[in-house]
């Protein structure tokens, strides 16, 4: 299977080509930026039709912004373009409004298009990149790159830890929490609304691991919910305190853990602070 090739990846340079770097984006907004990045792929005949891919990326952005904060965005879509994965990176000098959670403009945009035949892969890619992109020094290095080859060389430092079966569950808690909301809303929705929710849920499912989804679906079928928040150090699924170390790791993180007592996915409290 194609998966064999994927397991060879260890560095970002294995999937990012030097001519897939736009050193200075002309775009002034999100849509223009995505359009400009897709033009690179059009010029290299890697994609034929920009519109459906752009629509797909924008639909995904509407679901939840892919701006991870600190000036970085990772827009993505799962589209069959023939290859396994295609990445284009753009840098904006002035920054682009990407509806980032932290309200900051985005300076580095990493657009990822991956093949539908490799579900769950994105999650690992995302985790690998986020690990580097969360480092202040690394982000500064990208922003201070003086030309496209410097930018490319810095990006090439990103290393991936590839999926192993017994890996600790690392994923984006906000997505699985959202999926649970969707599944619960589906139960009381009419058929039109149900179809909408299913489409939205499928977008999320495409980004999550098969093993994680399998566990999620089993928990949902059995208990009606699969994800529990941690509040005041206790799992809100079983009200047993979680280990202190795990509790503080969950706090403020977007990773998913599993309750050692009830087996549900644990996420940090999802209560949105009131805007003042």
Please name the residues in contact with 269: beta carbons below 8 A apart, sequence gap of 6 or more. Answer: 229, 230, 231
Minimal distance, residue 216 CB to Zn ion, in Å: 15
- List binders of Zn ion among 200-259 (CB under 5 A): 235, 237-238, 259
Reading the block at residue 261, the tokens are 């007592």
- The count of residues interacting with Zn ion (CB under 5 A) is 6
Computed over its alpha carbons, how large is the radius of gyration of the chain?
A: 19
- Name which of 174 and 241 has its Cβ closer to Zn ion: 241
162 binds Zn ion (CB under 5 A): no
- List binders of Zn ion among 85-114 (CB under 5 A): none
Minimal distance, residue 259 CB to Zn ion, in Å: 3
Minimal distance, residue 225 CB to Zn ion, in Å: 11
- Name which of 31 and 262 has its Cβ closer to Zn ion: 262
- Name which of 83 and 224 has its Cβ closer to Zn ion: 224
**Cβ distance 212 to 176 under 8 Å?**
yes
Distance CA 97, CA 258 (A): 35
**Cβ distance 132 to 138 under 8 Å?**
yes
Minimal distance, residue 218 CB to Zn ion, in Å: 15
- Name which of 54 and 262 has its Cβ closer to Zn ion: 262
The C-alpha torsion from 151 through 131 and 69 to 269, rounded to 10°, is 170
Contact stretch for Zn ion (CB under 5 A) within 56-64, 93-101, 158-166, 261-269 = 261-269
- Name which of 89 and 242 has its Cβ closer to Zn ion: 242
User: Which among 89, 78, 152 is positioned nearest to 121, based on CA atoms?
Assistant: 78
Where does residue 266 rank: exposed (0-12), middle (13-18), buried (19+ CB within 10 A)?
A: buried
Distance CA 106, CA 233 (A): 34
- Name which of 211 and 238 has its Cβ closer to Zn ion: 238
- Interface residue with Zn ion, options 54, 162, 258, 262 (CB under 5 A): 262
- Give the interface with Zn ion as residue ranges (CB under 5 A): 235, 237-238, 259, 261-262
């Amino acid at each position: 299977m194609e998966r064999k090739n994927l397991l060879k990846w260890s560095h970002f340079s294995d999937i990012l080509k030097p001519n897939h770097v736009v050193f200075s984006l002309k775009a002034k907004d999100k849509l223009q930026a995505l359009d400009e990045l897709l033009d690179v792929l059009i010029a290299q005949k890697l994609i034929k039709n920009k519109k459906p891919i752009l629509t797909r990326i924008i639909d995904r952005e509407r679901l939840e912004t892919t701006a991870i904060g600190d000036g970085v965005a990772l827009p993505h879509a799962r589209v069959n373009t023939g290859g396994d994965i295609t990445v284009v990176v753009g840098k904006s000098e002035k920054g682009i409004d990407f509806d980032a959670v932290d309200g900051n403009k985005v300076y580095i945009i990493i657009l990822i298009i991956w093949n539908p035949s490799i579900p769950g892969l994105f999650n690992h890619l995302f985790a690998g990149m986020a690990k580097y992109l969360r480092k202040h020094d690394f982000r500064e290095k990208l922003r201070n790159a003086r030309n496209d080859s410097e930018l490319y060389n810095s990006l090439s430092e990103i290393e991936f830890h590839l999926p192993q079966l017994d890996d600790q569950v690392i994923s984006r808690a906000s997505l699985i929490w959202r999926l649970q909301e969707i599944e619960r809303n589906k139960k009381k929705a009419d058929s039109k609304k149900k179809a909408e929710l299913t489409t939205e849920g499928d977008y999320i499912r495409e980004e999550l691991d098969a093993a994680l989804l399998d566990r999620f679906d089993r928990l949902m079928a059995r208990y009606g919910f699969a994800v529990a928040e941690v509040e005041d150090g206790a799992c809100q699924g079983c009200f047993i305190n979680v280990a202190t170390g795990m509790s503080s790791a969950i706090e403020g993180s977007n990773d998913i853990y599993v309750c050692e007592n009830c087996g549900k996915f644990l996420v940090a409290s999802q209560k949105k602070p009131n805007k003042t």
